[in-house]
């Protein structure tokens, strides 16, 4: 093989082995001036919930996510929630404390959230949920008001259990 062929082969191999998420990514602000990207969660199944701290449905939804996350965390499942509130940092801190949420709660701009969800701002209703497999591929997209939320705990548990089994096989 020529030197040029070796370089091209090495480049192709590097491109194949680079871990890039299969789905969209969102940068999330976190308390204390930190941030994270949803793409950092690739490696195990994960969920991203979009919420508003004053939304009654969100106040019911995030404790359900907490329960399911704790149940499946040993199988690699993780969760993060992203607030759409104005002046979100103190609201997010209080929400986590009041509702006993242990997974990361943060915030992002409406524009970034809508891009992540592939929605227009007027289409954004909360809570909204996206569930990803271990590669970062979107496996569930549930806008606010979706029938998924009628039996949220059972639906979420079934989806996460399926994704955790897929993760185990590979």
Note the pLDDT tens digit of each residue in 108-136: 999 999 999 988 999 999 999 999 999 99
Q: Is residue 44 one of the residues assigned to a domain?
A: yes
Mean pLDDT of 142-159: 95
Q: Is residue 83 one of the residues assigned to a domain?
A: yes
Q: Is residue 17 one of the residues assigned to a domain?
A: no
Q: Which of 140, 28, 23, 25 is nearest to 84 (CA)?
A: 28
We report the CATH number of the domain holding residue 31 as 3.40.30.10
Mean pLDDT of 70-81: 96
Q: How many domains does the chain have?
A: 1
Q: CA-CA distance, 102 to 96, in Å (whole number)?
A: 7
Q: Looking at the predicted structure, is the pLDDT value of residue 12 above 50?
A: no
Q: Is residue 1 one of the residues assigned to a domain?
A: no
How many helical (H) and strand (E) elements, i.e. helices and strands, does the chain have? 5, 7
**What pLDDT score was predicted for residue 169?**
54
How many residues are given for the chain? 170
Mean pLDDT of 139-157: 95
46 lies in which domain range? Answer: 22-169
Q: Is residue 4 one of the residues assigned to a domain?
A: no
Q: Is residue 150 one of the residues assigned to a domain?
A: yes
């Amino acid at each position: 093989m020529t030197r040029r062929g070796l370089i091209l082969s090495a480049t192709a191999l590097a491109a194949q082995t680079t871990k890039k998420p299969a789905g969209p990514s969102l940068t999330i602000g976190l308390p204390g001036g930190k941030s994270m990207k949803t793409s950092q969660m690739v490696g195990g199944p994960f969920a991203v919930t979009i919420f508003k701290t004053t939304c009654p449905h969100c106040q019911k939804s995030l404790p359900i996510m907490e329960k399911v996350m704790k149940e499946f965390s040993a199988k690699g499942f993780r969760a993060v929630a992203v607030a759409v509130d104005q002046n979100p940092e103190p609201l997010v801190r209080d929400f986590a404390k009041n509702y006993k949420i242990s997974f990361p709660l943060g915030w992002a701009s409406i524009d970034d959230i809508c891009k992540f969800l592939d929605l227009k701002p007027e289409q954004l209703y909360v809570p909204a949920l996206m569930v990803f497999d271990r590669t970062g591929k979107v496996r569930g997209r549930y806008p606010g008001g979706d029938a998924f939320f009628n039996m949220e705990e059972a639906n979420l548990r079934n989806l996460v259990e399926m994704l955790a089994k897929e993760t185990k096989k590979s």
